[in-house]
Chains A and B, each alone.
Chain A
Amino acid sequence: MIAAHYPALQIALPLIAAPLCVLLRRGTWAWLVTVAVSWTALYVSVQLLLQVLASGPISYELGGWAAPWGIEYRVDSVNAFVLLIVSGISAISAPYAYKSVIHEIPEHQHYLFYSAYLLCLTGLLGIVITGDAFNVFVFLEISSLSSYVLISLGKDRKAVTAAYQYLVMGTIGATFFLIGVGLIYAMTGTLNMADIANRIDQVQNTRTVLAAFAFITVGLGLKLALFPLHLWLPNAYAYAPSVVTVFLAATATKVAIYTMLRFVFTLFGTDFALDVTLLAEFLMALALVGVFAASITAIFQNNIKRMLAYSSVAQVGYMMLGVSFFSVTGLTGGIVHLFNHAMMKGALFMALGAIFFRVGSVHIDRIRGLGKQMPFTMFAFVIGGLSLIGIPLTVGFISKWYLILAALERGWWPIAGLVLLSSLLAIVYVWRVVEVAYFRDPPTNHPKVTEAPLSLLVPTWILVLANIYFGVDTTLTVGVADTAAKVLLGLGQ
């Protein structure tokens, strides 16, 4: 009975919990609500994924209004997988938040922090689950507005500037997206995604639809930080509170990429996208330039959080590279990298958060000798870093394996070579940190630091072990990603 309402509960629970946190007014209680809701959301999304894998797509008519008129929540294997990523990351970072938030955010703002966090979760889950193009925009705004708030709560005063910069760029992106949706509505007379997909064939040669396509890809390109539209991202991630960086880095760009996939493949259709002159080549070029430019910039960063933020831009490049192949293998690589990157960046940013908790800084000079003082945290960072590079037995290897396979499948040897070459750049920036942490003596003018508390270490290590587990057993990740890729390309359920 209740199972039939899982799609609504996925969104309704965090949405109700957010004002509840405000009414409770106590940081600890708000935190308890957040943890409970995050874990329930994870349970719901696991159930949804199992239902979808067992019996095909689920449709839920919100308010009981039938599909093309009312808002439809539609879960298939593509978004069930993304729902699992978002709620899973939230379930792991919510327990982590407790001590980190006490450390970084003034006490009178704690309940508001958790409220904004839950709204952000609502928005991200909503973007993914909805089957209505305008509803995507509504949830996009919910998640964006709350993430501006979350970022601006950072300890450094620059956090406010970073949040403002993100606000300006994010609003432009969302507006472009809305213009695109408006143009589609003008041409097809419907906002339901499945309905649009059916009707767009009749009008797809018009200039209006082409303009809609351009607006939507550019708008979403801003939100997903596709090079060269990534300029808001490094500062936003670097100055946000640690747990916010963990959560956003592992979910926000992924959700934007999912939306891009949904619009390009399901709404406009693969044929339309391939008809657009040079689109695939253009995306591929941007992805590769992004990978290299961002990786090289990352090497020269002294703030490690900023370094990883640039690395995130590079990783977005890998995902878009997978997409730009327009083949099952390429898309599988791109989608599986959504999951894998959430695992590795989640683990790395959590380790950094633990360092910030003890040291009070993530500047490269301040982590000298931490390998001995915080062995578990630094080792977690090392494994996360290895995963980022793409060493076998970690998830990073799986993603790159599929990207290279996709390149070879088309006979594009140079692309495969470039993917390998870019991994070398990752070695450089990860090694810089490892060298300083393990082979330099701790600074003498700062007090000695000890290992991070368990409530920070345990979530970090859960993600680190996930990096290894899903690097060995890929039945879940690659299996679902493969199904998802086939759904997107219209080759299967």
Chain B
Amino acid sequence: MRHHVILRVVAKLSIPFIFLFALYVQFHGDFGPGGGFQAGVIFGAAFILYALIFGLDNALKVAPINVVIFFIAAGLLLFAGVGVAALLYGGKFLDYGVLASDFVAGQHLGILLVELGVGITVAAVMIAVFFTFADRGR
């Protein structure tokens, strides 16, 4: 891809905005369309675009496969951890209402953290799937 100047420049320009959009979809998900899954896919897509244009080796420098696997597990753990935290605060499993002083704030905090967990795992899984296939036969 070294010779495709247009592709490289456009990719470099757009990747930061893709990340930004992913974060918008992530954190605005509880007010508008969006949420963890969609944000995770967009976030992962930025990495995949980078790997397509600049090669798998460069992408692996940014996100080594072990780090990606770590985030797959960490996201799920965050999700389940919120559930357990609700238990410890005296509510039912995944009852976000007890996480803050008043019910609505607790619900807000809970769904935000849970969706963040979903986003992290989905982004990491997207990247891992791409890396696994791109790495075959090398």
Contact = CB atoms under 8 A, between A and B. Distances in A.
Interface stretch (B8-16, B69-77, B129-137): B69-77
Contacts of A115: 73
Contacts of B92: 5, 8, 60-64
B34 interface: no
A16 B81 contact: yes
Interface string A46-83: 00000000000000111110000000000000000000
Interface stretch (B18-26, B39-47, B52-60, B94-102): B94-102
B87 interface: yes
A487 B17 CA distance: 58
B93 A16 contact: no
A61 B70 CA distance: 31
B100 to A, nearest CB: 14
Given A5-B87, A8-B87, A12-B84, A23 B77 contact: yes
A18 interface: yes
Nearest to A20: B77
Interface string B95-122: 1110000000000000000000000000
B94 A63 contact: yes
10 contacts: A5-B87, A8-B83, A12-B93, A15-B80, A19-B74, A23-B74, A23-B77, A63-B94, A63-B95, A115-B73
Contacts of A60: 92-93
A19 B73 contact: yes
B73 A63 contact: no
Given A12-B80, A12-B83, A15-B80, A20 B95 contact: no
A22 interface: yes
A62 B95 CA distance: 7
Nearest to B110: A63
Q: How large is the interface on B (under 10, 10 to 19, 20 to 34, 35 or more residues)?
A: 20 to 34
B93 A5 contact: yes
A60 B92 CA distance: 8
A480 to B, nearest CB: 26
A23 B93 CA distance: 23
B70 A23 contact: yes
B91 interface: yes
Interface of B: 69-70, 72-74, 76-77, 80-81, 83-84, 86-87, 91-97
Interface of A: 5, 8-9, 12, 15-16, 18-20, 22-23, 60-64, 115
Contacts of A12: 80, 83-84, 87, 93
| Interface of B, helix, strand, loop or mixed by DSSP | helix
Contacts of B72: 19, 22
Contacts of A16: 77, 80-81, 84
Contacts of B96: 63
Nearest to B94: A63
Nearest to B98: A64
B113 to A, nearest CB: 14
B98 to A, nearest CB: 8
Given A20-B77, A23-B77, A64 B84 contact: no
Nearest to A2: B87
Q: Which 6 A-B pairs have the closest CB atoms?
A: A8-B93, A19-B73, A64-B95, A22-B73, A63-B94, A19-B76
B87 A64 contact: no
Most buried by A among B69, B74, B94: B94
A18 B94 CA distance: 18
Given A61-B92, A62-B92, A62-B94, A20 B84 contact: no
B10 to A, nearest CB: 36
A5 B93 CA distance: 8
Given A61-B92, A62-B94, 6 more contacts: A5-B87, A12-B83, A12-B87, A15-B76, A60-B93, A62-B93
Most buried by B among A15, A19, A115: A19
A61 B80 CA distance: 16
A5 B90 CA distance: 10
A20 B72 CA distance: 11
B94 to A, nearest CB: 4
A110 to B, nearest CB: 14
Nearest to A7: B93
A23 B77 CA distance: 10
A61 to B, nearest CB: 6
A22 B87 CA distance: 24
Contacts of A19: 72-74, 76-77, 80
A115 B94 CA distance: 22
Contacts of A9: 93
Contacts of A62: 92-94
A246 B99 CA distance: 41
A69 to B, nearest CB: 14
A112 to B, nearest CB: 9
B128 to A, nearest CB: 11
Contact of A23 (B73, B81, B87, B95): B73
Contacts of A22: 69-70, 72-73
Nearest to A115: B73
Contact of A63 (B76, B81, B93): B93
Contacts of B73: 19-20, 22-23, 115
